[in-house]
Amino acid sequence: MHPSSTLPPHLSAAPFTVYEARASSLSSARLRSSDLTSAGRLLYLPTGWDYELRSLARALSAATPGAWISHLTAAALLGLWLPSRYRGCRELHLSKPKALPPVRRQGVVGHTVLAFDDELMVLDGIRISTPARTWLDLARILPLEDLVAAGDQLVRRPRPELEGRMEPWATVPRLKAMLTRHPKLKGIVKAREATALIRAGADSAPETFLRLALATAGLPEPELQVRVVPGDPYSPAADLGYRQQRVAIQYDGGHHLTREQQSRDNRRDESFNSAGWRCFKFNADDLADDFRGAARRVRHALRPR
């Protein structure tokens, strides 16, 4: 069947619901035209539409009153850290309360869960779980160390000039309070274990993995964001370190390869060296080794001289 009329611009560029179609005076016959594809109950896709998670999630949310975007989909939309195997995942996760029928929609992973009002929010017109609640839902999916890394991201203090917000997404006490509400949720035991390991101060998942690797190796827990001069916000800082032993530890990700960042890193290292610290730098090769070699080097540096 050939299209009988041109679609309105706002319906031709993204998925839309039957309610939006009716609001634009599209007939049932028009919705069966060749330039549209049904994406399940109440949902339509323009033929040739390039997949884009946010617009599809928005339409799915609008087509399912009372439900909300959750789990991996919510994490992707919120910008939460996820392991590489889940990045770019096109799997849509939708949660519903028990009072509504279970999700039965092709291409959608449905969940029936209890969520309190303050665990849900609206983001760009999408009803979605909050960052903290999304983290809790990920407890059934992610391994413990990955869950800790995601939790560290929740509680870290953001950089307003880069992230547009002043406060962290959550605090450890708020996470613990949320866990008490959901004692029977799948993954709750892992979430409790992860909460005990979450620390504010890690700027990346590899920093979290490095901290956990040092603890697994039996080393004391390092301080995070260690400054040469304690309490001075302008003093150079290392990702991790041991102040008493004057050991500073840095994880260098890809952005450390730029000339500008290398200049800043050199100035930081000079400040630590001048103050009598030993500086260690680790990178993706050490991460691939699960930081075992890194832990051995740090252990040796912590030995009394």
* pLDDT attached to residue 185: 94
* pLDDT attached to residue 17: 76
* pLDDT attached to residue 255: 60
* pLDDT attached to residue 105: 79
Domain contains 249? yes
Number of separate domains in the chain: 3
Domain contains 74? yes
Domain limits at 69? Answer: 54-197
Phi first, then psi, for residue 184 (nearest 5°) are: -110, 5
* pLDDT attached to residue 254: 59
* pLDDT attached to residue 4: 61
Residues 116, 227, single domain; the answer is no
Boundary of a domain, candidates 197, 228, 255: 197
Going from the first residue of the chain to its last (305 residues), give the mean pLDDT of each consecutive group of 10, the final group possibly shorter. 68 75 78 75 72 85 91 95 88 92 84 96 95 97 97 92 87 97 96 98 96 97 95 92 96 71 84 94 95 97 86
Give the residue from 19, 22, 20, 3 showing the smallest Cα distance to 11: 20
Are the C-beta atoms of residues 91 and 109 closer than 8 Å to each other?
A: yes
Domain contains 1? no
Task: Show the tokens assigned to 121.
Answer: 């929010």
Q: Could you report the per-residue pLDDT of 145-192, keeping only the tens digit for each?
A: 999 999 999 999 988 887 888 899 999 999 999 999 999 999 999 999
* pLDDT attached to residue 40: 65
Residues 134, 237, single domain; the answer is no
In what helix (H) or strand (E) does residue 224 lie, and over which residues does it extend?
Answer: strand 223-227
Domain contains 149? yes
**Residue 219: which residues within 8 A CB-CB, separation 6 or more?**
295, 298, 299, 302
The rounded distance, in Å, linking the Cα atoms of 88 and 110 is 19
Domain contains 236? yes
Torsion of CA 295, 300, 303, 305, to 10 degrees: -150
Boundary of a domain, candidates 197, 220, 248: 197
Task: Show the tokens assigned to 207.
Answer: 């920093």
SS3 state of residue 34: coil
Query: Left (φ > 0), alpha (ψ -120 to 50) or beta: where does 225 sit?
Result: left
The rounded distance, in Å, linking the Cα atoms of 218 and 58 is 47
* pLDDT attached to residue 75: 96
Give the residue from 272, 137, 156, 266 showing the smallest Cα distance to 203: 156
| β-bridge partners, 43 | 17
Domain contains 4? no
